[in-house]
A and B are shown apart, each in its own frame.
Chain A
Amino acid sequence: MSLTSQIIQFLFTGLNVGSIYALVALGFTMIYNATAIINLAQGEFVMLGGLMMVFFTAVLQIPMYLGFFLTVVVVTTLGALFERLAIHPLKNASIITLIIITLAGSILFRGMAMFLWGKDPYGLPSFSSDQPIHIWGATLQPQFFWVLGITGVVLLGIWFFFNRTLAGKAMTACSFNSVAARLVGINVQKMVLLSFSLSAAIGAIAGAIITPITLMEYDRGPLLALKGFAAAVLGGLGSGGGAIVAGFLIGILESLGAGLVSSGYKDAIALLVLLIVLWIKPSGLFGSAEESELKKF
């Protein structure tokens, strides 16, 4: 394979994992905007999405689209339950407690998954045919296009939600100032619940679409969360657009690094990006330093 076709290959792989990081980062951003909490269980929603999809379509033999729908519904419900049972009862908790409670949630979800599915990785057939597609000498799985397409639809949907619906605008208002939002009659608690449900749904979609490519096992969550968080921080925590761009950027960086430098250290790339951004410019690429000074932590 020539270098150009190799690079095309890496770019496509990068865009694929990148879309997952972008979706995870978006989940972080949403919850952070509504609550100023970093939900360390975010990666677990992706893992649960993948494994639920396996359960519905491969075990129960439910048709793909219905299985996909059920997966999203179940994981969204789990996200909402998590908010009601764990986050909601904690009022005026310290930041350390909030960090640890989402950590506890992630352990609980992981334990559940290990109990239900065991430790083995599961695969899924591609959403359409398994015939690889050749473009400029690069070999691409059809699932690549499913991932990119569905991610695109999700991003459009989220844009529509935040810019064109009342609930979305109410949520934006909460993220600017929750006290002011309450004063104009927005039910902030409901918005918090909604933010957890939505980001669980986004995570579930990410998990369901990526499992045919990367397989899924019970302990995949933390690393996905970390990389998604790296994207969220790189894009400037709180900025949805920034998170998406940074997610794709990290995905491409990672796959180029894996292909051209060393595949063993590929996971370290996103983490190094995370540390470097935090150390040098915690406000991220697109966030303003002044704004990040005012953030709640």
Chain B
Amino acid sequence: MRDRMRRKDLYSLLLIGLLIVLYPWIVDGNEYFISVLVFLGINSIVTMGLCLLMGYAGQISLGHAAFFGIGAYFSGILTSQYSFHPVVAFFAGIFFSALVAFLVGKPTLRLKGHYMAVATLGFGEIFFIAFNELITLTGGPSGLSGIPSLSFFGQVLEVTAYLYLVWGFVFLLLIFSLNVINSRVGRALRAVHGGELAANAMGVDAAWYKVQVFVLSAVYASIAGSLYAHFITFISPSSFGLMPSIMFLMMVVIGGAGTIWGALLGTAVLTSLPEYLRGLEEFEVLAYGGILMAVLLFMPQGILEGMQKLLKSMRRTRKKNP
């Protein structure tokens, strides 16, 4: 059973990989469409981490844009103002995110349900305020510009190359996540989700596993933040506030937090949604709220599982009355 599941994962991976590689030709080199896919990749990195936290460990975070911001600001500030090498800045961001996640996660993950949600909300908001107020470092509300683009052997990466870079990361982290899920750690996390007390009784150190997965998801977000900063070369606090945090959460929930594939589907749907709402920007927030509400009420497991169920029941009725 497990091997079959893994084979299915492998096929999905190959299919998506093929699509990504061919995508620049499919859209005929249109830079705008390619950049949408770059953003999709960046968001996917965050939501994969969040999915591990929510879907597998059963913990909620309403402040993940803070870690996304830490990665982006570390990369942005260190490379543009102190001329560090981007790779050094990248790892500095990861290290700092992990440290913050560890320090914050330890007391926060002891909290349950609503308290955990509100604590992460407050934590994210504090970082948002810090991004706004540390003006000498972050440029404050008007943002930080002049972040260098990435280059490889003196060759500046243009948009197609960046697409492959970002999706390279997506695939590495996706394979890593799938391995985490199918490992001892993954089983422990699911046990924690199923019932913390029972997990503890079976010898699973629930608190420690929760902190680990929280730190891991923060690292994912930081990686995405660094990639984001070098791609758009200008960052401002509004990309790392409450609404982005909620958006990441929505992507996971709408797709279905139960599996990584659901989270990725949700990310794809919500990242491309603004493209359909072009010219109707005042509807955007309303549309997000409406979609989230509808999914919660009618497909609480997310659209991936919802669709699968729908297909199954359709097949069944067709068998009954041919």
A275 and B114: CB pair below 8 A? no
Interface size class on chain A is 35 or more
B282 and A115: CB pair below 8 A? yes
B246 and A107: CB pair below 8 A? yes
A97 to B258, CA, bound (A): 13
Chief secondary structure at chain B's binding surface: helix
Given A95-B113, A99-B113, A107-B292, A226 and B118 contact (CB-CB distance below 8 Å): yes
**Chain B 268-303 per-residue mask, 1 if CB under 8 angstroms from chain A, else 0:** 000000000000001111111110110011001000
Given A95-B114, A107-B246, A264-B132, A223 and B125 contact (CB-CB distance below 8 Å): yes
**A115 contacts which of B115, B129, B283 (Cβ < 8 Å)?**
B283
A118 to B144, CA, bound (A): 27
**Chain A 78-104 per-residue mask, 1 if CB under 8 angstroms from chain B, else 0:** 000000001001100101110111011
B289 and A108: CB pair below 8 A? yes
A275 to B246, CA, bound (A): 19
A36 to B292, CA, bound (A): 22
**A110 contacts which of B114, B115, B289 (Cβ < 8 Å)?**
B289
Give the residues in chain B near A282, CB-CB below 8 Å.
111, 115
Minimum CB–CB distance from B99 to chain A (whole Å) comes to: 17
**Chain A 261-274 per-residue mask, 1 if CB under 8 angstroms from chain B, else 0:** 01011011001101
Minimum CB–CB distance from A262 to chain B (whole Å) comes to: 8
Give the residues in chain B near A274, CB-CB below 8 Å.
118-119, 122
Give the residues in chain A near B249, CB-CB below 8 Å.
100, 103
**B125 contacts which of A103, A106, A111, A226 (Cβ < 8 Å)?**
A226
Minimum CB–CB distance from A125 to chain B (whole Å) comes to: 27
Give the residues in chain A near B111, CB-CB below 8 Å.
278, 282
Minimum CB–CB distance from B217 to chain A (whole Å) comes to: 15
B292 and A38: CB pair below 8 A? no
Q: Does B20 contact A (CB under 8 A)?
A: no
Size of chain B's interface in residues, with CB distance under 8 A? 41
Of B122, B246, B286, B290, the most chain A CB neighbours within 10 A belong to B122
Q: Does A241 contact B (CB under 8 A)?
A: no
Give the residues in chain B near A222, CB-CB below 8 Å.
121, 125, 242
A173 to B62, CA, bound (A): 33
B108 and A99: CB pair below 8 A? no
Q: Does B133 contact A (CB under 8 A)?
A: yes
A115 to B287, CA, bound (A): 11
Give the residues in chain A near B130, CB-CB below 8 Å.
268
Given A118-B282, A279-B107, A297-B113, A226 and B121 contact (CB-CB distance below 8 Å): yes
A115 and B118: CB pair below 8 A? no
A118 to B58, CA, bound (A): 37
Give the residues in chain B near A262, CB-CB below 8 Å.
133
Minimum CB–CB distance from A157 to chain B (whole Å) comes to: 27
A262 to B129, CA, bound (A): 12
Given A222-B242, A264-B132, A272 and B117 contact (CB-CB distance below 8 Å): no
Minimum CB–CB distance from B293 to chain A (whole Å) comes to: 4
Given A89-B297, A100-B249, A229-B118, A112 and B286 contact (CB-CB distance below 8 Å): yes
Of B118, B121, B284, the most chain A CB neighbours within 10 A belong to B118
Give the residues in chain B near A233, CB-CB below 8 Å.
115, 118
B113 and A278: CB pair below 8 A? no
Give the residues in chain B near A86, CB-CB below 8 Å.
293, 297
B292 and A271: CB pair below 8 A? no
**Residue in chain A with minimal CB distance to B120:** A275
Q: Does B112 contact A (CB under 8 A)?
A: yes
Minimum CB–CB distance from B136 to chain A (whole Å) comes to: 13
**Residue in chain B with minimal CB distance to A107:** B289
Q: Does B165 contact A (CB under 8 A)?
A: no
Q: Does A230 contact B (CB under 8 A)?
A: yes
A101 and B293: CB pair below 8 A? yes
A111 and B287: CB pair below 8 A? yes
Q: Does A114 contact B (CB under 8 A)?
A: yes
25 A–B pairs (Cβ distance < 8 Å), ordered by A: A38-B114, A86-B293, A89-B297, A95-B112, A96-B60, A97-B300, A99-B117, A100-B253, A103-B249, A104-B289, A104-B292, A105-B289, A107-B246, A111-B285, A111-B287, A230-B122, A233-B118, A262-B133, A264-B132, A268-B126, A274-B118, A274-B119, A275-B122, A278-B107, A278-B119
Known: A108-B293, A111-B286, A233-B118. 13 other contacts (CB 8 A): A38-B118, A40-B117, A86-B293, A86-B297, A96-B58, A100-B249, A101-B293, A111-B284, A112-B286, A226-B125, A268-B130, A272-B126, A278-B118
* Residues in chain A within 8 A of chain B (CB atoms): 37-38, 40, 86, 89-90, 93, 95-97, 99-101, 103-112, 114-115, 118, 222-223, 226, 229-230, 233, 262, 264-265, 267-268, 271-272, 274-275, 278-279, 282, 297
Q: Which are the 8 A-B pairs with shortest beta-carbon distances?
A: A111-B286, A108-B289, A111-B285, A297-B113, A107-B289, A95-B113, A279-B107, A38-B114
